[in-house]
Structure 1
Amino acid sequence: MLLRRISAVSQCLARLGSNSNRTSLLHPPLSFTASRCQYVSTSGDSAQPAVAPASGQYRDTVLLPRSKFPMKLTGQKILDRELQIQRECGFDLLYAWQRERKAKKEFCLHDGPPYANGDPHVGHALNKILKDVRNRFEVMRGRQVHYMPGWDCHGLPIELKALGELGTSGLSPLQIRKKAREFAEGAIARQRAAFQRWGVMADWDNCYYTFDGQYEAAQLRVFQDMHSKGLIYQDYKPVFWSPSTRTALAEAELEYNTEHVSKALYATFPISAPPPKLAESAEGWENAKALIWTTQPWTIPANQAVCYMPNAQYSLVKRADDSQRLVVATDRITSLAGALGTQLDILTTFTGSDLEGAMCQHPTLAGKEVPLLPASHVTMGKGTGLVHTAPAHGMEDYSVASHFKLSVDCMVDEEGRFTELAGAELQGKLVMAEGNDTVISMLRDAGALVKEEDCVHSYPYDWRSKLPVIVRASRQWFINTQSLKDKAKEVLQKVRVIPESARSTLLSMLDRRTYWCISRQRSWGVPIPVFYHRDTGDALINKHTVSHIADIFAEKGSDSWWEEPIETLLPASVLKKSKAGPVTDYIRGEDVLDIWFDSGVSWAAVLQESDPKADVYVEGKDQLGGWFQSSLLTSVAVRKKAPYKTLVVHGFAVSEKGEKMSKSLGNVVDPEVVINGGKDPSSSPPYGADTLRWWVAESNVFSEVQIGPNALNSARDNINKLRNTFKFLLGNLQGFDPRTQAVDSKDMYYVDQYLLHLLREFSMKVTDAYAEFDGGRVVRLLQNFVSSELSSFYFSVIKDRLYCDAEDSLGRRSCQTVLEEVLDGVTRAIAPVLPHLAEEVYLHAPGHDAGETVFQSGWIKSSYVWRRPGLEEAVEGACAIRDAFLSSIPGRNAAEYELIIAIEPGLFFELMESLQEEPTATFSQLTELMMASRVTLTSSLPRDLPDDALISRGSFLINLEGGVIREESAFTVAAQPTSLSRCPRCRRYTSDSPDCLCSRCQTVLQGAQ
């Protein structure tokens, strides 16, 4: 069987023809496979055949490359050229063009709206360019892209920046809103101009804005749907509250300061009624005290209970220094003894559940008793194992109060000051300042203060004002996320997350969200469409009232909530449907919706299809608990499905030291300066938009992305290397028309066919990388293909044929055909990343109509017929021989040697024979691959080799038909200085006598006469 297979291969090779330009090496189903060889060259130019023309009469007969394409652009020339390309190639028209063409598939990348509160920054660049690279790729491969840029326009940061130091004092809501809108519009204009300069493809005249009336109407319709389902409700419960901005906050609006310092203390609650199960058996309960630890002393006046863990062990201990009896968790005794500086002797030990029924005396409120209650949130990591519980100031505390029907009285107002409910001693004092100190003094005076200390810990801050927040009970509007979580987790199982590691973070952040407070006490936002009864305070809100308000907003915008009379907002027809009293009984609400709800319903406002669902959302990792989550929850609430098929989560842009960018540190990288240069061009040169785009593409965007001079200089240098390659390609295609002069692949030289085979592999890998949002892999594939496959290998091999063969010879046209395919393929491969450079190259490239742009002409064009695995064996086998030869002449010129290649008869010999029909040749394909003067192919070395012959040996493995036939063949190469002379035209050692043209050059010149 093996012999028959080898014989079949031999017959196949024999049928390839008798000339040295034999066509297709092997046809399916036969296939050779082997490991790719390493292309080795010696130092300098000596390993490459000399191709420069001699001075004198033959100079003008050599076809050297010519092109007007600039190899390098610097300074202002970069900026002028990019802007010229944008105009000439219709960057502003591309989105509309692709929307109008017929396409079988649509690709929808839904834009997470950036916040309209400032100038464009490098984080914007990272996000927008990452999106644009994918969109341009999809346009090129024939899909109709749906991408509508948007802006998040409401919210406190904009309101504060718009008002500056004026504050809101004396300004009406409409005045505040007018200033905020003007500020947002200015920020949008600056950001839009920057995005366009970066080359981001979109219809910039048709964007979405969360302050647009139509958007606001769509938002209210989602609100109404959720309210009708009972998912939106009003309640009085603790929320994160910012005293500095006087509004409720969602968890996504918090920043955690790990260096925050709190006044922490140990305090006692005297046991006024011992636990029934222990009162008779335990000694000393009449003087026992529950010991608690807290970092928020100001909350003690609101205490309603002390909680314990039912299944944990607790002890009644006696202090060695003052005989005070304390109830603490048994596991915490050792740590507490160290903290208190005294020995704690155990009197008795019991289970937490045995504390049921015990009562404590409130330490600062005479006559007030609070119960000891079981709770699951009590932990043993720190503290005493007993938790002071103030339902108005803690989410977990509130859960205990709900279960045991405790009072939830808030003694703190919107400014963070104690109210009169806290008593005259505390009233009006800031809870985070003098109020806290006063409570500590009250505990000390009552004999309840055991120890006071500073505690450095992570504490929530308002992300806008950068000041601490508190937890405070107030009447707000909430979304019941608890009822949505299970379904949200279920639909997330069908969502692809890139990188997959981000999925666990997404799920854990979803788990931690107990409820979502969506009401804000501000003016700049979408008003919650609710009316309140003047006397009872009851809310009037239903599908009739909300739908009517949505219609008004669609026509007039949300300013109408303040502009229109209440009779317009709440007409008689709506009151009748609502079975409500006269309009004079009602006043309009003053709260606005959380901006995360604003942006979270964008799927309903922007994706107008009957079943709106984006192919992908692409945002930074901070959106795992932000826009990704709010979009998911609102979509699941309304239609029980996710609004996206894929989530792409990228990291943040940081300095080259890995630091967060900060004005105080002076490490902020401004994309405007990156593109146009700074005041000092020597330190801040203009890089242009493509350099910024290359930085995005080559970075590992799934981690923190570093940017600075090193990264930008590297990006610029890599682009210049690429320009050099394009210069070479374009120069050698001068005068070549692929539409009339291209050579069919089956008629090409084998090395040319092989390069097409490599180009097809490259195009498939690049396509996969783009589809995975892996720009870094795209760049690596591109750089490897250009440096290894082209510059180090193919360009070196073909220069002689390209420059010195006859202009219209088969060999030269074969080579030019491949160069045009490579130029076209590499141009398209880099186009999504470097659209300015790609279009510039396309303007110079042959073979297409004037006015056509690269983005209108499609993706990389590769043919299945280019896939010729057998070519890998023939060409890479020859390269393996060449590598052995070159390693024997380090630092010397391969062109000065002639070779004898000896291979035992077999498959490998027949493959090499297909590259050189005659036993000895100076212009065969095998000689070209060896880059030598002359090559002799034989089955054994002659016995009369000269003494100066350099011998090298090696082997090559042929793997035929997936391993059915494997043959490893040994080869020997004898290299000796050539006896031929240097041709004065091609400067190869191929001439029979000095100063005479070689046979090839004679033929070329004779044909030119």
Structure 2
Amino acid sequence: MTDTPEKVDYSSTLYLPQTDFPMRAGLPQKEPEMVARWQKMDLYKKLRASAAGRQKFVLHDGPPYANGHIHIGHALNKILKDVITRSFQMRGRDANYVPGWDCHGLPIEWKIEEKYREKGKNKDEVPVNEFRQECRDFAAGWIQIQTEEFKRLGIEGDFDNPYTTMNFHAEARIAGELLKIAKSGQLYRGSKPVMWSVVERTALAEAEVEYADVESDTIWVKFPVTEGPADLQGNFVVIWTTTPWTIPGNRAIAFSSRYPYGLYEVESAENAFGPQPGEKLIFATRLADEAAAKAKLTFRFVRDVAPEELAAITCAHPLKDLGYTFKVPLLDGDHVTDDAGTGFVHTAPGHGREDFDAWMAEARNLEARGISSKIPFTVDDAGFYTADAPGFEGARVMDDNGKKGDANERVIKALIAANNLFARGRLKHSYPHSWRSKKPVIFRNTPQWFVYMDKELGDGTTLRSRSLAAIDDTRFVPSAGQNRLRAMIEGRPDWVLSRQRAWGVPIAVFADEKGEVLVDEAVNARILEAFEKEGADAWFAEGARERFLGNRAGEGWTQVMDILDVWFDSGSTHTFTLEDRPDLKWPADVYLEGSDQHRGWFHSSLLESAATRGRAPYDTVITHGFTMDEKGEKMSKSKGNVVSPQDVMKESGADILRLWVMTTDYWEDQRLGKTIIQTNIDAYRKLRNTIRWMLGTLAHDTGEEIALADMPELERLMLHRLSELDALVREGYDAFDFKKIARALIDFSNVELSAFYFDIRKDALYCDAPSSLRRRAALAVIRKLFECLVTWLAPMLPFTTEEAWLSLKPDAVSVHLEQFPAVPAEWRDDALEAKWEKIREVRSVVTGALEIERREKRIGASLEAAPVVHVADPELLKALEGEDFAEICITSAITVVAGEGPEGAFRLPEVARVSVEPKLAEGTKCARSWRITTDVGSDPDYPDVSARDAAALREIGFRRAA
């Protein structure tokens, strides 16, 4: 009887993973420590020093407002910018990121005014430069807060020297850009209808409004026909409007010669006011019945009215008896439709852009007909009617809180009294609101400063044509952004620059009574010199006019006191940032912002640069969508569905937030909530565990390099996959397609490494002798896998990759000072991959069969199995030749047989002509490797282990106790 070998603990002889890199990341605690480390070592300066002399790559930062804590949109935006900058830095470029802030304008001024209102203080009683200093201090405070919040996200940049629009040099450059535009003749003072905030007392640009549903008064109004075909005189043209208060500003009626019109006679009427039997009215044919229903009347068709008859008509104003005694002509307009209303558009040129354009297009013809083309100023800056609205002085369109005033009702009553109201009602529709005060705006004719879009600039171009040409020369990601910006430029009116506020860069020009701008180099030089030294406050200081005009002070020039649209400020940032900093360059390689910036920063930057430099200040424009909650609904505090970046970082860490950004379709609107965060936590945990296992395994690495020709096929396959991934990663970063990279690397880590390569090689790595080529080659490849994966991921997950890199290389400074590893072309081996695809197909059938055996508890682990694999496909069979298929399938033994296999064998539908018969392994379980083999005990010095393990034990000098 043979004695049973004494049990020996062989764990100390195994090369098991050893690492201090924890399984639990502890990111909320560890990340702030890393931020502090980077600041202490001045990583930013080290990055700049390491990149000295390289080709520059510049992503110019679109400036957020310095007026509150960052939100999830800021986090998305800054993370994307950081990933782009880091990815180019680690691919041989000098990628310097300079953060910036927008400091002027209404958002900040509004905050200071709110403080004043709380204290019962009147802004107008405070000296303007004192008020401006409060705005400046407010912005500076928030810049500091946001700086720390951005750093906590892992953003690396020149936070010690950011750009701000309120910097004195910046203010001088902004003013200088305006003076260039003025000198070129592109700046003019004009009177046009602009969007006006009664609440904020200033003009607004399209980029400063948002649309919300409101319920408005809607009226149909009769205009008596006084001139035209004889049988039409004494009848009425009927218009429809949702702004009754604009009726005093009416000067014309628009129709369209594209649609048929008719004359209709009222037969019966239910309302006491409005049309009565016998009255005749003109409508677009398609809308006549609908209009009759609104007025609760019936009528009969009399005859068609031709376009030339309409063009010959002149009407009286419906409020003629109140003093509106001018003629109201009919104008043919392309903007008229027949899908709602009456087919006639009430035209108040002081209250709408299309109305203004239609009126001005006919101005000369109107004057020839004895009709004044002058546009009235019917509403003042506070929303009150002026003397240009006789009969309604003192009525108000809107109050200081954005609530509807009494103007609508007074106009409606006056129309009823004049017997010229056809019908009235209520309508819910989308209407522009200020995005700051959230209150409705009005369209109001007011003198403002504009930049011409279509004035010839002396070289055969206009600002519009220059801008459109620049768009064609710009790369857009996604490409749809090009058409969106093009459509906006094609259709936009002249650029209104002036705002009636206090905090900003002034329109630093002098003008005469006609609005002609003084162009004097000496005056301009004095202005810019003062701004450079004292900031734009110099414009508002006592004696400024005389100081700047010098010996021209007595010529009657008026100092313009309006300030510049804040979009002009931000549109000028390329000048004092890209042009003036030697560590940057002009134009920028990339501008990246939310898709709303097609009408904001991308737009204003394009216009400013095209006006002064003839091209865009960027080569590529990238846009991202907005972040919604998990249901796809807009985040709002009232709904309680807001996800703040601060909360995510506090609970899970910035790298989790960054991983979400990297795995989402950021070009579209994204979703975020607890479930999505948890999904990213799970994905991160798997990725971290892969990195952790590599670190543990590499604790036994000697750094030996193995020649490619000497490596086993499985190692060469992994190097081939690195070659493929290297191309994918670089192309993905160039295309700004981060989801493609993140998905590929996560799948590679989970599927090809953890569940395949590492699983197969664990036995060799843990148990083979130190001299084993298989083990040495595996270590060399895992080292390369680690270096590639960690550096490729470094732009995306800066905290985790830094921790991992320093764990393996404690003497290193930072992973962020590394470059993506060079991947030799010889690693690429498509034929090898094709062969191993076949091997993996057969392996998947074996794995499926063993899973059933494990589930049915016929085996505990795959090493207890020795399946028989039947392969009828000649190509699959050939791929298995010469391979240790048992090692590949992680079984103790395996038998490969040519043929279809028995009927009851396990098969997978997707792998044709392969079947598996599960069998138990024969032999004895090795006490060291746990493989079941027939050679356990073949070495008398090590009676309880296999021959392979015995040889390994002998090589490492392990001796069993006597």
**TM-score if structure 2 supplies the norm length?**
0.89
CA contact (8 A) 2:706 2:776 kept: yes
C-alpha offsets along residues 375-409 of structure 1, whole Å, 9 cap, x if unaligned? 22222121111122111112122223323331201
In structure 2, the residue matched to 1:121 is 71
Are 1:256 and 2:215 matched, yes or no?
no
The CA deviation at 1:453 is: 0.6
Q: Which amino acid aligns with 1:703?
A: E
Alignment equivalent of 2:375, drawn from 408, 431, 434: 408
The CA deviation at 1:536 is: 7.3
The CA deviation at 1:718 is: 2.1
The CA deviation at 1:365 is: 2.8
The CA deviation at 1:125 is: 0.5
In structure 2, the residue matched to 1:481 is 453
C-alpha offsets along residues 353-385 of structure 1, whole Å, 9 cap, x if unaligned? 222232211111334332222222222121111
- The change in CA–CA distance for 1:110 and 1:425 in structure 2 (over 3 A counts) is closer
Say which is worse superposed, 444-453 or 994-1003, in terms of deviation.
Answer: 994-1003
In structure 2, the residue matched to 1:727 is 692
What secondary structure is seen at the aligned counterpart in 2 of 1:669?
coil
What secondary structure is seen at the aligned counterpart in 2 of 1:391?
coil
Are 1:435 and 2:407 matched, yes or no?
yes
The CA deviation at 1:99 is: 2.5
Alignment equivalent of 2:945, drawn from 982, 994, 997: 997
Distance in 2 (alpha carbons) for counterparts of 1:183 and 1:698: 36
Alignment equivalent of 1:506, drawn from 478, 485, 493: 485
Alignment equivalent of 1:330, drawn from 285, 292, 297: 285
For structure 2, the 5+ residue unaligned runs are 269-276, 364-372, 399-403, 455-461, 855-860, 938-942, 958-962
Distance in 1 (alpha carbons) for counterparts of 2:266 and 2:708: 94
C-alpha offsets along residues 959-1002 of structure 1, whole Å, 9 cap, x if unaligned? xxxxxxxxxxx777666433322112111012335763211011
In structure 2, the residue matched to 1:555 is 533
Alignment equivalent of 2:746, drawn from 783, 794, 808: 783
In structure 1, the residue matched to 2:239 is 292
Alignment equivalent of 1:398, drawn from 331, 342, 356: 356
Alignment equivalent of 1:662, drawn from 636, 650, 662: 636
What secondary structure is seen at the aligned counterpart in 2 of 1:550?
helix
The CA deviation at 1:325 is: 0.6
What secondary structure is seen at the aligned counterpart in 2 of 1:560?
helix
In structure 1, the residue matched to 2:96 is 146
- The change in CA–CA distance for 1:354 and 1:909 in structure 2 (over 3 A counts) is same
Are 1:203 and 2:154 matched, yes or no?
no
C-alpha offsets along residues 887-931 of structure 1, whole Å, 9 cap, x if unaligned? 44433444334466677998766654443xxxxxxxxx4431132
Distance in 1 (alpha carbons) for counterparts of 2:785 and 2:847: 27
The CA deviation at 1:797 is: 0.6
What secondary structure is seen at the aligned counterpart in 1 of 2:375?
coil
- The change in CA–CA distance for 1:878 and 1:464 in structure 2 (over 3 A counts) is closer
Q: Which amino acid aligns with 2:81?
A: K
What secondary structure is seen at the aligned counterpart in 2 of 1:882?
helix
CA contact (8 A) 2:175 2:506 kept: no
For structure 1, the 5+ residue unaligned runs are 1-52, 576-580, 677-685, 916-924, 958-969
In structure 1, the residue matched to 2:505 is 526
For 1:676-691, list aligned pairs within 5 A.
676=650, 686-691=651-656
**TM-score if structure 1 supplies the norm length?**
0.85
Are 1:495 and 2:474 matched, yes or no?
yes
Distance in 1 (alpha carbons) for counterparts of 2:376 and 2:780: 83
The CA deviation at 1:771 is: 2.2
- The change in CA–CA distance for 1:497 and 1:427 in structure 2 (over 3 A counts) is same
What secondary structure is seen at the aligned counterpart in 2 of 1:843?
helix
Q: Which amino acid aligns with 1:204?
A: F
Distance in 2 (alpha carbons) for counterparts of 1:92 and 1:585: 59
In structure 2, the residue matched to 1:461 is 433
Distance in 1 (alpha carbons) for counterparts of 2:407 and 2:253: 22
In structure 2, the residue matched to 1:825 is 788
Alignment equivalent of 1:927, drawn from 866, 886, 890: 886
Say which is worse superposed, 724-733 or 81-90, in terms of deviation.
Answer: 81-90
Distance in 2 (alpha carbons) for counterparts of 1:567 and 1:459: 41
Q: Which amino acid aligns with 2:55?
A: K
Distance in 2 (alpha carbons) for counterparts of 1:734 and 1:212: 52
In structure 1, the residue matched to 2:443 is 471
Distance in 2 (alpha carbons) for counterparts of 1:520 and 1:628: 20
What secondary structure is seen at the aligned counterpart in 2 of 1:421?
coil
In structure 2, the residue matched to 1:270 is 224
In structure 1, the residue matched to 2:619 is 645
The CA deviation at 1:936 is: 5.4
Q: Which amino acid aligns with 2:689?
A: N
In structure 2, the residue matched to 1:419 is 386
In structure 2, the residue matched to 1:981 is 924
Q: Which amino acid aligns with 1:728?
A: W
Distance in 2 (alpha carbons) for counterparts of 1:668 and 1:785: 34
- The change in CA–CA distance for 1:570 and 1:937 in structure 2 (over 3 A counts) is same
In structure 1, the residue matched to 2:28 is 79
CA contact (8 A) 1:561 1:569 kept: no
What secondary structure is seen at the aligned counterpart in 2 of 1:343?
strand
For 1:874-893, list aligned pairs within 5 A.
874-889=835-850, 890-892=852-854, 893=861
Are 1:751 and 2:723 matched, yes or no?
no
Distance in 2 (alpha carbons) for counterparts of 1:605 and 1:298: 45
Distance in 2 (alpha carbons) for counterparts of 1:926 and 1:120: 56
What secondary structure is seen at the aligned counterpart in 1 of 2:443?
strand
Alignment equivalent of 1:319, drawn from 244, 258, 266: 266
- The change in CA–CA distance for 1:325 and 1:887 in structure 2 (over 3 A counts) is same
- The change in CA–CA distance for 1:589 and 1:1000 in structure 2 (over 3 A counts) is same
- The change in CA–CA distance for 1:454 and 1:250 in structure 2 (over 3 A counts) is same
What secondary structure is seen at the aligned counterpart in 2 of 1:619?
strand
Are 1:96 and 2:63 matched, yes or no?
no
Are 1:895 and 2:838 matched, yes or no?
no
The CA deviation at 1:886 is: 3.6
Distance in 2 (alpha carbons) for counterparts of 1:424 and 1:898: 102
C-alpha offsets along residues 298-343 of structure 1, whole Å, 9 cap, x if unaligned? 1111221122223432211111111211122222212222222222
Coordinate RMSD, CA, aligned:
2.8
C-alpha offsets along residues 275-308 of structure 1, whole Å, 9 cap, x if unaligned? 2xx32xx4xx342011111111111112211222
- The change in CA–CA distance for 1:882 and 1:709 in structure 2 (over 3 A counts) is closer
Are 1:247 and 2:202 matched, yes or no?
yes
Distance in 2 (alpha carbons) for counterparts of 1:850 and 1:244: 61
- The change in CA–CA distance for 1:251 and 1:881 in structure 2 (over 3 A counts) is closer
C-alpha offsets along residues 50-85 of structure 1, whole Å, 9 cap, x if unaligned? xxx9963323222211111101134xxx33321222
Distance in 1 (alpha carbons) for counterparts of 2:869 and 2:679: 43
Distance in 2 (alpha carbons) for counterparts of 1:908 and 1:883: 13
The CA deviation at 1:951 is: 8.1
- The change in CA–CA distance for 1:95 and 1:417 in structure 2 (over 3 A counts) is same
Q: Which amino acid aligns with 1:409?
A: P
Are 1:767 and 2:730 matched, yes or no?
yes
CA contact (8 A) 2:395 2:405 kept: no
Q: Which amino acid aligns with 2:265?
A: K
Q: Which amino acid aligns with 1:743?
A: I
- The change in CA–CA distance for 1:568 and 1:129 in structure 2 (over 3 A counts) is farther
Q: Which amino acid aligns with 1:1006?
A: R
In structure 1, the residue matched to 2:366 is none
In structure 2, the residue matched to 1:32 is none
CA contact (8 A) 1:316 1:328 kept: yes
In structure 2, the residue matched to 1:377 is 335
In structure 1, the residue matched to 2:369 is none
Distance in 2 (alpha carbons) for counterparts of 1:691 and 1:904: 47
Distance in 2 (alpha carbons) for counterparts of 1:263 and 1:92: 65
Say which is worse superposed, 742-751 or 190-199, in terms of deviation.
Answer: 742-751
For 1:126-137, list aligned pairs within 5 A.
126-137=76-87
What secondary structure is seen at the aligned counterpart in 2 of 1:692?
helix
In structure 2, the residue matched to 1:170 is 125
CA contact (8 A) 1:612 1:643 kept: yes
Identity %: 34
What secondary structure is seen at the aligned counterpart in 1 of 2:423?
strand
Say which is worse superposed, 905-914 or 587-596, in terms of deviation.
Answer: 905-914
Aligned residues: 900
